[in-house]
Copies of this chain bind each other. A is one copy, B any other.
Amino acid sequence: MVQIPKTPASSAPRSVPTSADVARLAGVSRATVSYVLNNSSAVRISEPTRRRVHEAARELGYVPHAAARSLRAGHSRTVLMPAPGFPVGPLYSRFIGELQWALGRLDYTVVQYGTAGPQGDDAARAWAELRPVAVLVPGSGLGPQGVEILKRSGARAVVTLGPEPVDGAHALLMDHEAVGHRAGRHLYDRGRRRIGVVLPAEPGLEVFSAPRLEGVRRAVRGTDATVTELHLAYEEHSAARLAARWRSLGLDAVFAYNDEYAMLLMRALQDEGVAVPAETAVIGADDLMLGRLLRPRLSTVHLELPSGRELAALVDRAVHDPGARPERHEVLGATVVHRESS
């Protein structure tokens, strides 16, 4: 571990300039300072006065206080987004980036809230303290009570992104059951009948892996195919152990949860001399670049998340009409990309 040594202490901070200081220096009222610096169109203020206020603010190093503004307005322009409680892949990162950009264009400030700390309703209370105008909650940590806490504190819109709707909140439903269903159906159509499904050992992923498993089961229900659960940690020796007992499992196919677990397992199977796809077909999910770089090229389920722009529009709509009936939208597109591994 790189060490950060301590250094000795010293002196005191300066006082923070206020809008009163700016008003004094510019020779105007505090209200005028507020109108100018918050770009208010409610009052007509001459160009020279505006300039004087801006110059005084710059000279003093004054910036408006978002909290004071939000106290006056009763709410902020802050959209709060708790960081998801699961490890985030490149697909999700890109989605979040696009969403932040789109909300920024609509003049919202997006802040992400760290995962550490309170859970459940306590988390909702902690978020509410920041008086966000909207809250976007990924995963499944929020209940109806939490939604109520946020709304009572002035949040005009609560939007969940997850497998299940929550009473009182708008829901973007991400149906991971469909991901498993596509994978299972593909393997069945390729003539496979003994299908393994990888369940990652890493915590936080059950919310995705359980419905994916269920989707595979549904895809082969009423057929002669069987489904076997395979527990796998994202570590080489876990994959090697699973591969070592592969032939005793008698499987002819595996849905490996996602492309990264598929890469890990496929390498272990190849090291064990199991031919892919001849002996065992492999399919991942996410359609990452790395799947195209593997040999054989990895089959995968391509996921399509909603566009950040459309989700931003939903948030904006909900903020303008906080009494509207919660919207529910299925937003996860899932299609099989058939390559060489299956």
Contacts and interface: CB of A to CB of B under 8 A. Distances in A.
A267 interface: yes
B97 A115 contact: yes
A194 B130 CA distance: 56
A3 B310 contact: yes
Q: Interface residue tally of chain A, by bracket?
A: 35 or more
Contact of A333 (B2, B100, B129): B2
A148 interface: yes
Interface string A290-315: 10110000000000111100110110
Interface string A152-187: 111010000000000000001000000000000000
Contacts of A267: 293
Contacts of A149: 61, 63
Q: How many copies does the complex hold?
A: 2
A44 interface: no
B100 A63 contact: no
A112 to B, nearest CB: 4
B234 A289 contact: yes
A39 interface: no
A279 to B, nearest CB: 19
A248 interface: no
Interface in A62-109: 62-71, 74, 76, 83, 87-88, 93, 97, 100-101, 103-105, 109
A129 B63 contact: yes
Nearest to A268: B293
Contacts of A105: 116
Given A1-B307, A290-B263, A71 B74 contact: no
A245 interface: no
Contact of A153 (B61, B130, B172): B61
Nearest to A118: B104
Contact of A2 (B2, B65, B264, B332): B332
B100 A93 contact: no
Nearest to A17: B152
Interface string A103-126: 111000111111111000000011
A66 B131 contact: yes
Contacts of A306: 1-2, 4
Interface of A: 1-14, 16-17, 60-71, 74, 76, 83, 87-88, 93, 97, 100-101, 103-105, 109-117, 125-126, 128-131, 148-149, 151-154, 156, 172, 234, 236, 260, 263-264, 267, 289-290, 292-293, 304-307, 310-311, 313-314, 317, 320-325, 327, 329-333
19 contacts: A2-B304, A2-B330, A2-B332, A2-B333, A5-B329, A7-B327, A9-B324, A11-B324, A61-B148, A62-B152, A63-B125, A65-B71, A67-B71, A83-B112, A87-B93, A111-B114, A112-B112, A236-B289, A260-B289
